[in-house]
Structure 1
Amino acid sequence: MKPLAAGSPAALAGGPARNPASVRWALAGLSLSMLLSSLGTSTANVGLPTLAHAFGAPFQQVQWVVLAYLLAITTLIVSVGRLGDMIGRRRLLLSGISLFTAASVLCGLAPTLWLLIAARAAQGLGAAAMMALTMAFVGDTVPKERTGSAMGLLGTMSSVGTALGPSLGGLLIAGPGWRAVFLVNVPLGVLAFALASRHLPADRRDGRTERGGFDHLGTLLLALTLGAYSLAMTVGRGRPGPLNLALLAAAALGVGLFVRAEARAASPLLRPAVFREPLLSSGLGMSALVSTVMMTTLVVGPFHLSRGLGLGEAAVGLVLSAGPLVAALTGVPAGRIADRFGSRRMTVAGLAGVGLGCGALSLAPVSLGVAGYLVPLVVVTAGYAVFQTANNTSVMTDVGPDRRGVVSGVLNLSRNLGLVTGASVMGAVFALASGAGDVATASPEDVAHGMRITFAVAAALAVTAIALAATGRALARRRADAG
C-alpha cells in the first residue's frame, strides 16, 4: 500500500483513513518536535556557570539565556496556536522547526552574550510553535480512540527531554564545549523537519478563516500581560519587591485590557465564551495547579536531599532524575489506560496519586532517609504522568479542527504559568516555613520542617484540583441536561 499523498482527501481528513505507516512516521516527527522544545530548556540550565565564565558576565545577566527562551514560549504560545488555526498548522509547524533549528545555529556561533540571548528568544518562538501545534496535530493524525496513546507518547518525549537534558548538556560541555549544547539541536531539527514535511497531513483549505482576521491588539496585550507576570515571578527569584509588585500590577491591568479588547474584537484571539465551557476551563485550571505542585519537587527536592539528608551533588542528581524517568516510562501506558477506561476518570486517578504522594512527603520522617523521599516522589510523578495524559486527551478530544491550535496553546500556557508560579510561590513558602533567611545555609531540621509544610500546601493544591474536576464535570452534565 502506497503512502497517501499529502494533499489527498484521506490525508486531509487524517485519522483512520491514513496509512498506518505514515501515521507512525508523523507521530515520530511530532515526538521529535516535542523532545527538541523540552531539551531547549533543560540543556541550557546546566550550562549557566560555564557561560558566565566564558563571557565574563554575572549570573543576573547569564540567567537571561534561560529566561529569554521561557518568556518567548510563554508570551507567544497562544498566539502561535491561533495563527496555526488560521493559516495552516502544518505550514506553521514547519516554520517553527526551521526557526528553532536556525536559531540553534546562531546560539552555537554567538560571539557575545547578548547575541546569544537574542538567538535564544528566536529559538523560544520556534519552540512555541512546536509545543502548541504538536498536540493540535494529534486530532488530524490518529483515530479518536487512540488519542490518549498519542498524547501519552508526546508527554513521554517531553519527560525524556527534561530527564536527558542535564546529563546531555553536562557531557557536551565537558567534551566539545558549551556551543555544542545548542548545535546538537541542528541535526535533530533537520530530521524533525523532514519527517513532518513528508508525513503530516496537508492543511485544510476551506476558506473559513483568513489572515486579516488575526487579532493583533489582543495578541500584543496578551504577550505584554504574560511577559509582565512571568518577569514578576522570576526577577529577584520571586521575592516581593517594588519591581515585582509593579510588574504584577501591570499584569493585572493587562488582563483587564485584554478581556475588554477580546469582547470588542471581530475575530478575537480567545473568545470569552471559551472559558465558560466547564470541561475546558476546569482542565486548564487543573493543569496550572498540578504544574505548580510539580515545580515544588524541583524547588524543595535539592535542598531537602543536600541539606536535610546530607547527600552529595552526584547523589542528589541521581535521586532527582528518578522523577522524569518515571514520567517517561509512565506516559505511553497512561495514554493506553486513558483510551480504555476514559480520560476523565483517569484524570481524577492521576490527581489522587499526586495528592497522596505529596501527603506522604509532608508526613515522612527524616529517619526514613532517601527512601522516604524517593518512594513518594515516584507516586507523585506517576500520578502526574497519568493526569497530564488524561487531561490533555480530555481537553483536546472534543475540540473542533478550527480551534485545536489555540486550545493547545492555552493548555500549554496553563502548564507554563503553573511552573513559573510554582518556582516563585512554592519557593517562597519553603523559605518562609523553614524560618531561615537563606535556605542554602539553613539547618537540616529547619529544611525538614520547611519541606513538610511546603508539601502539605502542595497536597492541598492537588485536592483543590480534584474538586475542580468534580465541579467541571457537574457543570458540564447540567449544561447537557439543560440543552
Structure 2
Amino acid sequence: MNARVALYIGGLLGPFGGGVVSAMLPELSSGFGVSQGIAATSLTVYLLPFAIVMLVSGSLGERWGMSRSIRVAYAGYAVVALLAAVAPWFWLFQASRALQGIANAFTTPLLLAKLAAVTPKERLGRALGTYGAMQAIGQTSAPLVGGLAAEGAWQWAFVGLAAVAAALAISPLPPDSRDGAAQRPASLRDAWRKSVLLTGGVAFVSWACLAGLPFLVSFRLDDAFALSPSARGLVLTAYGVAGAVGARLTGGAVDRFGQRAIVCVGLLFAALAVGAVGLVSWLPAVAVAWAVSGVCGQLILVGIHATVLTGGASGRGGIISVVTALRFLGMSASPAAFTGLYRYDAALGFLLPAALLVLTIPVVAVWWPRKAPG
C-alpha cells in the first residue's frame, strides 16, 4: 500500500468506526438486554473520549514520534475493536468503544500533520480535500455497512474494523520529518495559543451549527414530511455524499483563493442552506439545501485545516489536534443547544445556527491568522 494512500484510508477509519453503530442500535439493545436509549450512548461514549483526549494527543504523539504513535494507536484500535465483537456485557462493549475513540484521537491529528509534511504548500488544499472526502465517505457509509452487518451478526462490523486497523498498523507511512530534530520538543502550551483557540473556536461554532445538525434535520423530515426512517436516512446521506464529491474541488478552491476567503464563503452559504432547511416546505429543496450544507462543510473544514497545517513542522500535530478536538466538541454540543429551541419553534431551531454561522464571518474576515497559528 502506498504511504499516501495509507494516510487517506486512515482518515476514513475514524468516522467510520464512530458511526458504524448507528444502524445497529436495535440489535445492540436486544443483544445486550438494554433499552435503545442506553444502546444509543455507544455513539457518545466513542465521541467524547475521542474529542477530549485529542486536546493533548497531537502534542504527545509528536513528542513520542508520530509514526510510532500512529502504529501503536492502530494496533490498539484493532485489539479493542475485537473486544467489542466478543464482549459478553454491555459495560465491556462500552469500554471498548471508549478505547476506540481514544485510539482514534492518536491517529486523526497525526495523519493530517504527516499529510501536510509530504505535500507541497501549493497543493495542500487539494490533498486536504481528498482527505476530507475520505472522511465524508467513512461517515456516510458507516450506517449502511453497520446495518448490513446487523442483518447477520453485528459483531462482523467490528471484526472488519479490527482487520483494517491491523493492516494499517503494518502499512508504510511517510518518515517523520527530520527538519524539527534541532528544534525544541513540541510543548502542550504551543497548541494552546490565542491564534489556535481562535481557529478552534471557529471550528467549534461551525460544527455545532452545521455538521452537528443531522439529528435536527431528521426531526424536521419527520415532523414536516412524515418520512419513514429509511427515507430520512437517505436524505441525511446527501450531506456526506455531496461533501465527498465536492471535496477535491473545494481543496482546489482553497489553493487558488486562500483559506480566509474560502472559510467566509463556506460560512455564508452554509448559513443560507441551514436556514432553508428550516423554512422551505418542499422536500426536494430541503434535500438540496442539506447537500449544499455538506459542500459548505468541506469548504470550511479544508480552509481550517490548510490554515493550521501551513508552516513549519514543529508543533503542527498538537495544533491540529486541539482544533479538531474543539470541532468535535462543538458537534457534540449541538443537540443540547438546539433541540429545545426547535421544539419551541421549528424555524428558529434552524435560524439560530444559521445566524451564528453568519456572525462568525466577521471574526474570520478580521482576525483569521495570516499564517499557521501557534
- Please indicate the TM-score interval, normalised by the length of the shorter structure: over 0.9
Task: Say if 2:311 is the partner of 1:406.
Answer: no
Select the residue among 271, 275, 279 that pairs with 1:355: 271
Select the residue among 209, 219, 228 that pairs with 1:312: 228
- Retained in 2: the 8 A contact 1:29–1:193? no
Select the residue among 61, 68, 82 that pairs with 2:45: 68
**1:192 corresponding residue in structure 2:** 168
Question: Residues 378 and 98 from structure 1, CA distance in 2 versus in 1: closer, same or farther, beyond 3 angstroms?
Answer: same
Select the residue among 185, 190, 202 that pairs with 2:176: 202
Task: Measure the CA separation in 1 of the matches of 2:352 and 2:80.
Answer: 40
Q: Quote the offset at 1:146 in angstroms.
A: 1.3
Deviations 1:186-233 (A, max 9, x none): 2211332233xx2421354826556xx9xxxxxxxxxxxxxxxxxxxx
Task: Say if 2:331 is the partner of 1:415.
Answer: no
**1:178 corresponding residue in structure 2:** 154
Select the residue among 295, 306, 313 that pairs with 1:393: 306
Alignment of structure 1 residues 213-228 onto 2, 5 Å: none
- Retained in 1: the 8 A contact 2:190–2:319? no
Task: Measure the CA separation in 1 of the matches of 2:85 and 2:58.
Answer: 28
Question: Residues 414 and 465 from structure 1, CA distance in 2 versus in 1: closer, same or farther, beyond 3 angstroms?
Answer: same
1:200 is matched by which residue type in structure 2? P
Deviations 1:95-136 (A, max 9, x none): 111111111111111122121112222211111111121111
Task: Measure the CA separation in 2 of the matches of 1:296 and 1:158.
Answer: 15
Task: Measure the CA separation in 1 of the matches of 2:36 and 2:285.
Answer: 34
Q: Report the TM-score when normalising by structure 2.
A: 0.92
Task: Say if 2:243 is the partner of 1:327.
Answer: yes
Structure 2 counterpart SS, 1:114:
helix
Q: Quote the offset at 1:281 in angstroms.
A: 3.7
**1:50 corresponding residue in structure 2:** 27
Using the TM superposition, name which of 292-301 and 327-336 deviates more.
Answer: 292-301
**2:113 corresponding residue in structure 1:** 136
Select the residue among 77, 80, 83 that pairs with 1:100: 77
Percent identity between the two aligned chains: 25
Q: How many residues are paired up?
A: 370
RMSD, aligned α-carbons:
2.1
Task: Say if 2:337 is the partner of 1:425.
Answer: yes
Alignment of structure 1 residues 255-266 onto 2, 5 Å: none
**2:63 corresponding residue in structure 1:** 86
Structure 2 counterpart SS, 1:118:
helix
The higher relative CO (CA closer than 8 Å, separation ≥ 6) is in 2
- Retained in 2: the 8 A contact 1:282–1:469? no
**1:247 corresponding residue in structure 2:** none
Structure 2 gaps of 5+ residues are none
Structure 2 counterpart SS, 1:57:
coil
- Retained in 2: the 8 A contact 1:105–1:182? yes
Q: Quote the offset at 1:172 in angstroms.
A: 0.5
Question: Residues 130 and 199 from structure 1, CA distance in 2 versus in 1: closer, same or farther, beyond 3 angstroms?
Answer: closer
2:303 is matched by which residue type in structure 1? A
**1:375 corresponding residue in structure 2:** 288
Alignment of structure 1 residues 196-345 onto 2, 5 Å: 198-202=172-176, 204=178, 206=181, 208-209=183-184, 269-271=188-190, 274-275=193-194, 277=195, 280-295=196-211, 297-345=213-261
Q: Quote the offset at 1:285 in angstroms.
A: 1.7
Deviations 1:37-68 (A, max 9, x none): 11111111222221110111234543342222
Question: Residues 27 and 374 from structure 1, CA distance in 2 versus in 1: closer, same or farther, beyond 3 angstroms?
Answer: same
2:367 is matched by which residue type in structure 1? G
- Retained in 1: the 8 A contact 2:191–2:319? no
2:86 is matched by which residue type in structure 1? L
**Larger Rg over CA atoms:** 1
Task: Measure the CA separation in 2 of the matches of 1:326 and 1:476.
Answer: 29
Q: Quote the offset at 1:362 in angstroms.
A: 3.9
1:186 is matched by which residue type in structure 2? A
Task: Measure the CA separation in 2 of the matches of 1:346 and 1:294.
Answer: 16
- Retained in 2: the 8 A contact 1:296–1:426? no
Task: Measure the CA separation in 2 of the matches of 1:464 and 1:157.
Answer: 30
2:137 is matched by which residue type in structure 1? V
Q: Quote the offset at 1:274 in angstroms.
A: 1.2
Q: Quote the offset at 1:361 in angstroms.
A: 2.9
Question: Residues 209 and 68 from structure 1, CA distance in 2 versus in 1: closer, same or farther, beyond 3 angstroms?
Answer: farther
Task: Measure the CA separation in 2 of the matches of 1:343 and 1:292.
Answer: 20
Question: Residues 272 and 385 from structure 1, CA distance in 2 versus in 1: closer, same or farther, beyond 3 angstroms?
Answer: closer
**1:228 corresponding residue in structure 2:** none
1:123 is matched by which residue type in structure 2? Q
Select the residue among 114, 119, 127 that pairs with 2:96: 119
Task: Measure the CA separation in 2 of the matches of 1:207 and 1:476.
Answer: 26
Q: Report the TM-score when normalising by structure 1.
A: 0.72
Task: Measure the CA separation in 2 of the matches of 1:410 and 1:272.
Answer: 7
Task: Measure the CA separation in 1 of the matches of 2:103 and 2:289.
Answer: 36
**1:346 corresponding residue in structure 2:** 262
- Retained in 1: the 8 A contact 2:78–2:161? yes
Structure 1 gaps of 5+ residues are 1-21, 214-266, 434-449, 478-483
Question: Residues 132 and 46 from structure 1, CA distance in 2 versus in 1: closer, same or farther, beyond 3 angstroms?
Answer: same
